[in-house]
């Protein structure tokens, strides 16, 4: 655990005490995530491969037994929000408080006796940057409730409940990847997750030991208007599966892709979506094989292929993301791709340690030249999943 998260835990606990007039029962942390490869596969029952960031949502929490839920975030102006747990209702709340309330709602819906809590949290996960601050926020609350109410739920079970909170309570149609990543990732590893049966495997991904670095470039283009586009892609994938007579696009084998595309005839839009999803699942499997064989540098070109597929077939990139990828590759990066939902958010760049400064500088200069907002560049060290800190 890094010293900085210890410092955050201390200040979150202190603020909790000021707000609620007593020390918290405990402090928990849950990380944001970056998806290494496997984009827009999670709602097609496919494969994803996220890893956890060192950036976390840290929550100080105390248990209550009187049905009251009190919420406060250091990152949002405003007083403590007080709610009654038995009055929580899906899509009744359009504010940030819908995420933690949704988790309490989902736990109670599933029959768990969660009788209230006082929560104060603070986050170092950039919000709306495609790094899943929303899942980190849900998972930290779920884990705290799990511990404080002795629910005995496993990481993947908490992830499912958090997904339900976001789907039904918040009203955002997200897949299972983000919550599982935040709940289940391990330091120095990426998580190979089969989103159909939720089976998972920790894949060694310790770049520093091999003289490489992975950079996240937050374009600072907000992806908040992307919901409609996301819905369209999702509907298009479902249409593709229906036309091909499979439960989900995951069931189209890579070896049969050409035949499947031929069967889709003049459904050009659907063909492009299908091609992305089927090739992306294959890319995840290829990255897993390469990493397990210790051939880490060879994943670079696979990341680049993934970006081209998202840009040209899935059509969810944007000029800022494309500029990061093109500039980083020209400056000597091993690979780069957009990550997350698209239409902004962040890109990842894999580079030799010796090239990190040059790549960073090149991207910053290219953004300045293009008249884009200055990007935020930071190193992403594969870090631990959700945990209790004190
Ligand atoms: P992402 O998950 O990619 O960061 P989302 O739009 O899914 O983006 O989630 C962002 C939302 O999560 C914010 O609009 C806010 O409602 C909530 N959120 C994130 N971080 C915090 C925080 N520190 N405090 C309160 N709410 C937060
Ligand atoms: Mg989110």
Pocket test for ligand 1, best of 130, 137, 230 (most atoms within 8 A of CB): 137
Sequential DSSP letters for 269-318: HHHHHHHHHHHHHHHHHHHHHHHHTT-GGGHHHHHHHHHHIIIIIS----
Tokens 């989900």: give the residue: 248
All structural domains of the chain? 5-202+383-388 (3.30.230.10)
User: Which residue has its alpha carbon closest to ligand 1 atom 3?
Assistant: 130
Query: pTM for this one?
Result: 0.94
Burial of 371 (0-12, 13-18, 19+ CB in 10 A): exposed
Please give the Cα distance from 72 to 61 (Å, whole number): 11
Q: 299-308 and 268-292 are packed helices; what angle lies between their axes, rounded to 10 degrees?
A: 170
Does 134 contact ligand 1 (Cβ within 6 A)? yes
Alpha helix ranges (H) inside the chain: 3-20, 98-109, 133-148, 155-164, 177-184, 227-244, 257-263, 268-292, 299-308, 319-330, 356-370
**pLDDT number for residue 226:** 64
Token pair of 28 as six digits:
């928990």
**pLDDT number for residue 230:** 87
Per-block mean pLDDT, blocks of 10 residues, the chain (390 long): 73 98 98 97 97 97 98 97 98 96 98 98 90 97 98 98 98 92 97 97 95 96 75 95 98 98 96 98 98 97 98 97 98 96 94 98 98 97 97
Sign of CA dihedral 321, 327, 328, 333: positive
Contacts of 387 (CB under 8 A, 6+ apart): 1, 28, 29, 143
Measured torsion, CA atoms of residues 239, 224, 125, 163, in degrees rounded to the nearest 10: -40
- In angstroms, what is the span from residue 352 Cα to ligand 1's centroid? 32
Q: Quick check: 98 and 47 in contact, CB under 8 A?
A: no
Which strands, in side-by-side order, build the sheet including 335-339? 335-339, 346-352, 212-218, 376-379
**pLDDT number for residue 1:** 43
| Gyration radius from the chain CA atoms | 21
Please give the Cα distance from 10 to 4 (Å, whole number): 10
Cβ density class 213-244: b for 16+ within 10 Å, e for less: bbbbbbbbbebeebeeebeebbebbbbbbebb
User: Which residue has its alpha carbon closest to ligand 1 atom 9?
Assistant: 134
Does 130 contact ligand 1 (Cβ within 6 A)? yes
Token pair of 39 as six digits:
């984009």
Residue 229 assigned ligand-binding role: no
Distance between terminal CA atoms of the chain? 12
Residue 128 assigned ligand-binding role: yes
Tokens 């292929």: give the residue: 305
Residue 42 assigned ligand-binding role: yes
Sequential DSSP letters for 24-61: -SEEEEEEEEEESS--S-GGGT-EE-EEEEEEEEEEEE
**pLDDT number for residue 3:** 52
């Amino acid at each position: 655990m890094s010293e900085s998260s210890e410092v955050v835990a201390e200040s979150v606990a202190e603020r909790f005490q000021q707000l609620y007039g007593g020390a918290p029962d405990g402090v928990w942390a849950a990380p944001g995530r970056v998806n290494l490869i496997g984009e827009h596969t999670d709602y097609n029952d496919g494969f994803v491969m996220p890893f956890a960031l060192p950036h976390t949502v840290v929550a100080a929490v105390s248990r209550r037994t009187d049905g009251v839920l009190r919420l406060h975030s250091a990152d949002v102006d405003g007083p403590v929000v007080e709610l009654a747990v038995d009055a929580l209702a899906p899509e009744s709340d359009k504010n940030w408080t819908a995420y933690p309330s949704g988790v309490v709602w989902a736990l109670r819906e599933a029959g768990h006796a969660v009788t209230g809590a006082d929560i104060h949290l603070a986050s170092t996960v950039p919000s709306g940057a495609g790094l899943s601050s929303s899942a980190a926020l849900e998972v930290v609350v779920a884990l705290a409730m799990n511990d404080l109410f002795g629910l005995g739920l496993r990481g993947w079970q908490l992830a499912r409940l958090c997904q339900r909170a976001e789907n039904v309570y918040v009203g955002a149609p997200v897949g299972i990847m983000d919550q599982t990543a935040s709940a289940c990732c391990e330091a120095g590893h990426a998580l190979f997750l089969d989103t159909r049966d939720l089976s998972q495997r920790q894949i060694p991904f310790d770049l520093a030991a091999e003289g490489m670095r992975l950079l996240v470039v937050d374009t600072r283009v907000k992806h908040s208007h992307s919901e409609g586009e996301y819905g369209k892609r999702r509907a298009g994938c479902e249409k593709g599966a229906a036309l091909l007579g499979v439960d989900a696009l995951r069931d189209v084998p890579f070896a049969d892709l050409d035949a499947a595309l031929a069967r889709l005839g003049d459904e050009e839009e659907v063909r492009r979506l299908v091609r992305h999803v089927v090739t992306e699942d294959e890319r995840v499997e290829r990255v897993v094989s390469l990493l397990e064989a210790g051939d880490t540098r060879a994943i670079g070109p696979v990341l680049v292929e993934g970006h081209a597929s998202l840009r040209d077939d899935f059509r969810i990139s944007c000029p800022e993301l494309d500029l990061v990828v093109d500039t980083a590759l020209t400056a000597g990066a091993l690979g780069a791709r957009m990550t997350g939902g698209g239409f902004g958010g962040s890109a990842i760049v894999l580079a030799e340690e010796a090239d990190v400064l040059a790549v960073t500088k090149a991207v910053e200069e290219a953004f300045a030249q293009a008249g884009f907002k200055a990007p935020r560049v930071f190193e992403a060290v594969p870090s631990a999943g959700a945990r209790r800190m004190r």
